[in-house]
């Protein structure tokens, strides 16, 4: 019997385990499955907390529904009847201390047509005319490895990128648009320009697809994302799951691998899947040949603050779900989600729950990083007061800090991954790197990556 050890119990690791077990059963393969997770709970950065009638996701707050890997997994786990969808509404950009609605017919702030462009209250008439040049500029001096910021500025002008697009995209991808590639963010932009000669014409031609996905764009579960991991763990009845245990060293031993655990135990594996953040993988492998590639991978940080209030949801604009911060404001946050309005299931008593975001690209982030929790609460309360006119004392506050754990796909990312793959294939057969550090930050991409790795292993496991 061959043993597979998956290190890391986040979404990639658990998806790998799920598909290893499921497909091994279908193929009649006899394999031993073990998962090692350093935390006391499964989920990685997807963590659900419940308190006083509120449900809080302190990592990702939802799953993008449209990714092709998501629906099959939910169906396989018999979780369809537990799914909840986001409430729809207007997302705003806060600029010069005023809330500006992001035009409805836009994608990440990019207008889908002239009508959408005309409704923007952020742009000057000159800025709007610059966007329309997209209809006449025909040359395409870009590839998927080009900067998405430079691409968008070239065709749409600097004003809309700075005021309307960058706040949204930077919020999603946690990085400088001029250092993020088209391929890692919105690869269809290049396709639209080539096929339709215009980004707006490309969006217009695909408008039905975007609008169809808009109403049920994000999903969670009635008791939060933790339900997904609870069900996955429950179904892994043929696997060994070690929680609260870390791998301190991973060493190649003939055709196998020896894993040293901090519990003192040693585990020998025929196949290993490393789904941890890349710094943890780098430390476990401790191989100088890999260090240049690992060191080229970049990460971001974020501090989030939940504030729960004994106020009705109706305290905030009826059609709103939150705002992203642009320039010229007197607030310190990067964004604010009106969680209880966006997700009805998060507030059992229709009370207000707000989540504030402070990201690494924030000018004051290093200062925030050194602050006590009490000081961070004061910053968040001041931001709520300035942006939403709420001065009331919150029922409670919940703070989460993710330092250097959020992958950022810069212009060197693809090359670094290719170099890593080359060395791994040569020196570590049957050991696989997987997860958001390498192959996609979205939950759907992580599920897909886990399934792909499971398939690779099962293809080489002797029958």
CA 151/CA 129 separation, integer angstroms: 17
Q: 421 exposed, middle or buried (CB, 10 Å; 0-12, 13-18, 19+)?
A: middle
Q: For residue range 168-192, list pLDDT tens digits in order.
A: 888 777 678 888 889 878 889 999 9
Name the CATH topology of 2-46+225-297+409-460: FAD/NAD(P)-binding domain (3.50.50)
Sheet (strand 266-269) strand order: 247-253, 256-261, 266-269
Provide the pLDDT for residue 214: 59
CATH 3.50.50.60, the chain: domain bounds = 2-46+225-297+409-460
Angle between helices 148-156 and 188-196 (to 10 degrees): 30
Provide the pLDDT for residue 440: 87
Q: Each residue's pLDDT tens digit in the chain (463 positions)?
A: 899 999 999 999 999 999 999 999 999 999 999 999 999 999 999 999 999 999 999 999 999 888 899 999 999 999 999 999 988 778 899 998 899 999 988 988 999 999 999 999 999 999 999 999 999 999 999 999 899 999 999 999 999 999 999 988 887 776 788 888 898 788 899 999 999 999 999 999 998 877 765 566 899 999 999 999 999 999 999 899 999 999 999 999 999 999 999 999 999 999 999 999 999 999 999 999 999 999 999 999 999 999 999 999 989 877 889 999 987 889 999 999 999 999 999 999 999 999 999 999 899 999 999 999 999 999 999 999 999 999 999 999 999 999 999 998 888 898 999 999 999 999 999 999 999 999 988 899 999 999 999 999 999 998 7
Residue written as tokens 């982030």?
365
Q: Which CATH number fits domain 104-211: 3.30.2450.30, 3.90.950.20, 1.25.40.10, 1.10.3110.10?
A: 1.10.3110.10
Q: For residue range 348-373, list pLDDT tens digits in order.
A: 999 999 999 999 989 999 999 999 99
CATH 1.10.3110.10, the chain: domain bounds = 104-211
Q: Which residues of 136-158 are buried (b: 16+ CB within 10 A; e: fewer)?
A: eeeeeebebebbbbebbbbbbbe
Tokens of 423: 């060395």
CATH 3.90.660.20, the chain: domain bounds = 51-56+65-73+81-89+300-407
For residues 156 and 388, the answer to whether their CB atoms sit within 8 Å is no
Q: Which CATH number fits domain 51-56+65-73+81-89+300-407: 3.30.930.10, 3.30.540.10, 3.40.50.300, 3.90.660.20?
A: 3.90.660.20
């Amino acid at each position: 019997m061959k043993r597979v050890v998956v290190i890391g119990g986040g979404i990639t690791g658990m998806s790998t385990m799920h598909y290893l077990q499921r497909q091994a059963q279908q193929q009649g393969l006899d394999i031993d499955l073990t998962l090692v997770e350093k935390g006391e709970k499964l989920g990685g950065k997807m963590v659900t907390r419940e308190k006083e009638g509120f449900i809080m996701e302190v990592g990702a707050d939802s799953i993008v529904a449209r990714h092709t890997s998501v629906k099959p997994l939910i169906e396989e786990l018999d979780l369809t009847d537990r799914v909840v969808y986001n409430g729809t509404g207007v997302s705003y950009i806060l600029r010069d201390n005023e809330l500006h609605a992001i035009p409805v017919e836009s994608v990440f702030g990019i207008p889908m047509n002239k009508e959408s462009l005309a409704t923007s209250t952020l742009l000057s008439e000159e800025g709007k005319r610059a966007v329309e040049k997209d209809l006449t500029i025909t040359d395409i001096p870009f590839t998927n490895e080009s900067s998405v910021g430079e691409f968008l500025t070239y065709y749409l002008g600097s004003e809309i990128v700075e005021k309307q697009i960058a706040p949204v995209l930077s919020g999603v991808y946690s990085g400088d648009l001029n250092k993020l590639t088209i391929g890692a963010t919105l690869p269809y932009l290049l396709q639209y320009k080539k096929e339709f000669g215009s980004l707006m014409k490309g969006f217009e031609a695909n408008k039905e697809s975007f609008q169809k996905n808009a109403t049920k764009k994000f999903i969670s579960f009635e008791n939060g994302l933790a339900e997904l991991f609870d069900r996955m763990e429950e179904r892994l009845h043929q696997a060994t799951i070690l929680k609260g245990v870390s791998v301190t060293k991973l060493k190649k031993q003939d055709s196998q691998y020896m894993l040293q655990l901090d519990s003192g135990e040693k585990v020998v594996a025929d196949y290993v899947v490393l789904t941890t953040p890349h710094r943890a993988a780098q430390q476990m492998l401790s191989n100088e040949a890999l260090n240049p590639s690992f060191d080229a991978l970049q990460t971001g940080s974020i501090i989030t603050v939940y504030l729960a209030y004994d106020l009705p949801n109706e305290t905030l604009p009826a059609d709103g779900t939150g705002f992203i911060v642009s320039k010229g404001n007197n607030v310190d946050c990067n964004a604010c989600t009106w969680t209880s309005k966006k997700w009805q299931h998060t507030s059992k008593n229709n009370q207000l729950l707000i989540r504030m975001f402070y990201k690494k690209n924030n000018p004051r982030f290093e200062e925030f990083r050194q602050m006590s929790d009490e000081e961070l609460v004061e910053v968040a309360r001041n931001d709520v007061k300035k942006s939403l006119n709420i001065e009331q004392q919150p029922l409670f506050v919940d703070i989460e800090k993710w330092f250097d754990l959020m992958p950022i796909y810069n212009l060197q990312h693809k090359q670094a991954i290719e170099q890593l793959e080359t060395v791994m294939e040569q020196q570590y057969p049957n050991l696989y790197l997987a997860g958001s550090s390498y192959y996609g930050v979205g939950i759907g991409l992580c599920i897909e990556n886990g399934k792909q790795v499971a398939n690779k292993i099962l293809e080489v496991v002797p029958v």
